[in-house]
Structure 1
Amino acid sequence: MTELRPLDSGFIELEDSDRHISLGIGAVAIISGVAPKRAEFTEALAERLAHNTRLRQRVRRAPLDLVAPVWEDDPNFEVARHIRWAALPEPGDEQTLFELIATELAERLDRDHPLWQCTVVEHLADDRWALIVRAHHSLVDGVSGISLLESFCDLSPEDGPTRKPPQNHETRTAADWFGLAVKGLRMPLAAPRFVVSTLRSLAPVVLATITPAAGSSLNGPIGLQRRYVAVRTSLSDVREVGSAFGVTVNDIVLAAVAAAYRSLLLRRGEEPTGDKLRILVPVSMRPTDAKYVLDNRVSAMLPHLPIDIADPVERLGRIHDRMTTHKSSGAAQAENSLLSMAGRLPFAPVAWTVRLAAHFPQRGVGALATNVAGPRRELTVHGAKVLELLPCVPIAMRLRTAIAILSYGDHLAFGITGDYDTTPDIDVIADGIREGIAELVAHAHSMRRNGTFPLAMCSDRDVSTRG
């Protein structure tokens, strides 16, 4: 048995604090041809899981949460329990698929068993089928979640015949009563040093979280049901914009998101002022050698999006400046240090503090946008080509919308999750993203025609990731 890391267990506490939320992160593979037969699919998946311990483990919590939850083997593990089969009704179009994805996002994963699930979706129009892979946020973040989906796909030629699915080789022994006592004795000394060392860098983040933003319809109570829609764009077009303006893919993504929320607020009759939308942008803290470890390695930035700026190029420039400032502030590293130190303190007071904080409604943040670099190679499932990947993330903490961005091949997909009751106009966000990218591409083309195309290049690996 191994302990959950502090952030991993924090997502369980967050889900427990609100019956309206389900913290499953998902990715949807759209695949050519006809879905494999049930026995064939189940057998292939079982073979991969035979080498992946974490996917056969469940979470066990201690009485009164006196020690951290642990991963333990599920004595009743069955692969078939984690596979669903669904068939879309006619016409099997994109909208029908999106409704199914929204339903999946609203359902909580079963805590009595390993926290992941596959749904095979048949009868998708144009001779296609889909695979929806969901895992609890306590098990994966954005990067490891996509790695999980990759592990369910076919081997690539360079993998060779002996590739095994990733293992969680970074583990910690579960605390025993002696260890708990040691932590308790150490707490009076450790806690003050912990506070002093991180308070200065974390102060802006904490202040942003607890300070109410200008009131808007983006933040508020949410219900049980979800809406989902996706937008696709060309990664080559986005890179061209980056080259034209000397910015990153992440800057462009956030500029498109800002354009979308500006459109949404204007459509709702709300003034898009500069202080109205502070957004949560997860930042990956995952080293390269931990790509396949199933846990969370994220920190966060909380910039204001300049939704008050109408000009798309000026808006992009403002976002680039703000993100550069945030990256150099040290807040993300301080937050990561905070999580590391939390792991050295007794679990009970940390868990109780998180639980208490989760019951206080946050009003400082209005949305979430997480950007994940997806697979560079072409994926196949049972020999069939994966045509595209769509990301889908949960909503929580009064955030009525959340946007995940995922690259695959030359595609960049935006998956937008919304609260069913308070976001009936989720398509306005989708249209705003599409138009925001198109405007920037048009400006980049104009610069090329005018001979003012600079040499600065944009890296599609400079992306942030969630959770």
Structure 2
Amino acid sequence: MVFNPLKSDRESMSSVDTAWLRMERPTNLMMITGVMIFDDKLAYRKVQKVIRDRFLRFARFRQRAGRDTTSAFWEEDPNFDLDAHVLRVALPGKADKDALQAYASELASTPLDPWKPMWQFHLVENYLGGSAMVVRIHHSYADGIALIQVLMAMTETAEGKSPLPEKPKKRAGSGSGDGGAVRLVKHGLNLGARLWNNSLHIVQDPKVATSMVKTGVDLAAELAKLALLTDDPPTPFKGSLGARKQVAWAEPLPLEEVRTIGKALGCTINDVLLASAAGALHSYLGEQGEALDGLVLRAAVPVNLRPLESAASLGNQFGLVLLDLPVGISNPLERLYKVHENMNRLKSSRQPVATYLLLGALGLGPAQLQETALNILSEKSTLVMTNVPGPRQPLYFAGKEIVQQMFWVPSSGSIGLGISILSYDGRVQFGLIADRKCVPEPGEIIKRFRGEFEKLLLTTLMAPWEERPNAQDVEAHLDFHCSLLG
């Protein structure tokens, strides 16, 4: 939305946030959509008070996003009205999970009003005898890690305390506490300016020149690798998209069971969850009659680049890695080990920094260049997959316990599928958002996730293994146990 360019009460938008603002398309809205479920009924006025006192203390949420002919910016909404952002809803019929999923899907398909700050809370007052909240926030405001921090700032523990940890104190000589990736981002963002402004100094100091050139070469090499990747194979998950999105979620898994599987099989919690998701896609595509032999689908996985001391700040500070998901492997253990191998290969990758800097550069350039570049990159992957560690203890919002929560992030280009994994209060939530033209019934994928997870759980229960179990032996054991059950 273009606003009056003569106004001066503006705050410049970062180039990365600008890129997310310009990425909006009718077929892929750049919203993060979340759902919180409560066993008890929330009071609307208490909800408003929490949002007024705790959410709006982040000044950004009183601002709307604007664009002129050269840049994007934030400006205060002169007609801000909390009632336009906190809405009361009653679901029709049984007001059950199907009804809530349908309502959340409708909201995920409906753009936010660009003339107002782009966020909304929809209080569902009649969900299964309790309440639910559907939250929509435009991605230009913040990424998933930042929004988890915002949520925690709006909640309390059972003892009435803030769930946010105290800010770590810096030890003498410890520096900023930034990780290597964060330092690289900071170095990379200033690379061009330093090369220009310090050209004489660079000539005089070969060490400085070598360091800066190496950083630039490394990042350029990562971008070249991305550009040279082959396009992902055609599947029902990609193609011509429509405006209608559908969300769905599974019942949560016990986090302790996930941890036990990972420990027993020599993998991480993340490996177990990603392998279960790949198994669900394998099962779904197989039932659709798709060719599975050797099928590998790339997932764009966000990687947090935010330093610890900036965890509660808004904005977008993440990059992407492209993870090879071995969807074509039918053996669950072999699939898990392949995911583990692929994840380890990415741990030293500079892809996250390279993609972050690329997005920032595109946000500064012409919109058409950004669209072309993102379309090219979106052809390299089939889905977006997020895995966010949430609060470990139960949280209370407006005095009521959040018993379940999940979220979905947007995709771009021709990507029609997003998978989200969120841990909360000792459980793991698996959710999915899909374009209706690509996946008419997302529940058909959702229902397969637990089954794939339980195959890995059964593998673990067949332990103790004298050594790391062989995938073929495990498959034989699984077939035997399934024959006994069936």
When normalised by structure 1's length, the TM-score is 0.82
2:330 aligned with 1:310: yes
Give the Cα–Cα distance (whole angstroms) in 2 for the partners of residues 249 and 159 of structure 1: 27
Shift of 1:50: 4.7
Counterpart secondary structure, 2:113 = coil
Q: Which residue of 2 aligns with 1:434?
A: 450
Conservation of the 8 A alpha-carbon contact between 2:153 and 2:162: no
Conservation of the 8 A alpha-carbon contact between 1:83 and 1:118: yes
Counting only pairs closer than 5 Å after superposition, residues 306-455 of structure 1 correspond to structure 2 as: 306-338=326-358, 342=361, 348-349=364-365, 351-358=367-374, 362-448=378-464
Counting only pairs closer than 5 Å after superposition, residues 225-244 of structure 1 correspond to structure 2 as: 225-231=244-250, 232-244=252-264
Conservation of the 8 A alpha-carbon contact between 2:123 and 2:132: yes
- Paired AA for residue 35 in structure 1: L
Q: Which residue of 1 aligns with 2:100?
A: 97
Conservation of the 8 A alpha-carbon contact between 2:63 and 2:117: yes
Shift of 1:206: 2.6
2:297 aligned with 1:277: yes
Give the Cα–Cα distance (whole angstroms) in 2 for the partners of residues 196 and 221 of structure 1: 36
- Paired AA for residue 64 in structure 2: R
1:42-79 CA distance string (max 9 Å, x none): 2332122452211111112122xx23x12221111121
Conservation of the 8 A alpha-carbon contact between 2:146 and 2:312: yes
- Paired AA for residue 330 in structure 1: R
Q: Which residue of 2 aligns with 1:10?
A: 19
- Paired AA for residue 23 in structure 1: M
Shift of 1:362: 4.0
Shift of 1:201: 2.3
- Paired AA for residue 22 in structure 2: E
2:53 aligned with 1:47: yes
| Identity %, equivalent residues | 28
Match of 2:278 among 246, 258, 264: 258
Conservation of the 8 A alpha-carbon contact between 2:378 and 2:412: no
**Larger deviation, residues 392-401 vs 88-97:** 392-401
Give the Cα–Cα distance (whole angstroms) in 1 for the partners of residues 314 and 56 of structure 2: 16
Q: 1:453 to 1:237 in 2, by over 3 A?
A: farther
Q: 1:357 to 1:402 in 2, by over 3 A?
A: same
Q: Which residue of 2 aligns with 1:179?
A: none
Give the Cα–Cα distance (whole angstroms) in 2 for the partners of residues 46 and 94 of structure 1: 29
Shift of 1:2: 3.1
Size of the aligned set, in residue pairs, is 417
2:212 aligned with 1:206: no
Conservation of the 8 A alpha-carbon contact between 1:11 and 1:23: yes
Shift of 1:238: 0.5
- Paired AA for residue 20 in structure 1: T
Q: 1:348 to 1:233 in 2, by over 3 A?
A: closer
Give the Cα–Cα distance (whole angstroms) in 2 for the partners of residues 354 and 245 of structure 1: 43
Give the Cα–Cα distance (whole angstroms) in 1 for the partners of residues 223 and 295 of structure 2: 20
Match of 2:155 among 153, 156, 161: 153
Conservation of the 8 A alpha-carbon contact between 1:105 and 1:394: no
**Larger deviation, residues 315-324 vs 329-338:** 329-338
For structure 1, the 5+ residue unaligned runs are: 164-181, 455-467
Shift of 1:6: 2.2
Give the Cα–Cα distance (whole angstroms) in 2 for the partners of residues 242 and 49 of structure 1: 37
Shift of 1:277: 1.3
Q: 1:53 to 1:267 in 2, by over 3 A?
A: same
Conservation of the 8 A alpha-carbon contact between 1:222 and 1:400: yes
**Larger deviation, residues 194-203 vs 71-80:** 194-203
**Larger deviation, residues 250-259 vs 144-153:** 144-153
Counting only pairs closer than 5 Å after superposition, residues 68-107 of structure 1 correspond to structure 2 as: 69-107=72-110
Give the Cα–Cα distance (whole angstroms) in 2 for the partners of residues 132 and 262 of structure 1: 30
Give the Cα–Cα distance (whole angstroms) in 2 for the partners of residues 256 and 275 of structure 1: 16
Q: Which residue of 2 aligns with 1:170?
A: none
Conservation of the 8 A alpha-carbon contact between 2:392 and 2:425: yes
Give the Cα–Cα distance (whole angstroms) in 1 for the partners of residues 77 and 349 of structure 2: 43
Counterpart secondary structure, 1:278 = strand
Q: Which residue of 1 aligns with 2:120?
A: 117
Q: Which residue of 2 aligns with 1:31?
A: 38
Conservation of the 8 A alpha-carbon contact between 1:215 and 1:276: no
When normalised by structure 2's length, the TM-score is 0.79
- Paired AA for residue 229 in structure 1: A
Shift of 1:235: 0.9
Give the Cα–Cα distance (whole angstroms) in 2 for the partners of residues 453 and 408 of structure 1: 30
1:304-363 CA distance string (max 9 Å, x none): 2112211111111111111111122322233345456x39xxx65354421343466943
Shift of 1:409: 0.7
- Paired AA for residue 257 in structure 2: D
Conservation of the 8 A alpha-carbon contact between 2:332 and 2:456: yes
Conservation of the 8 A alpha-carbon contact between 2:262 and 2:272: yes
Conservation of the 8 A alpha-carbon contact between 1:133 and 1:149: no
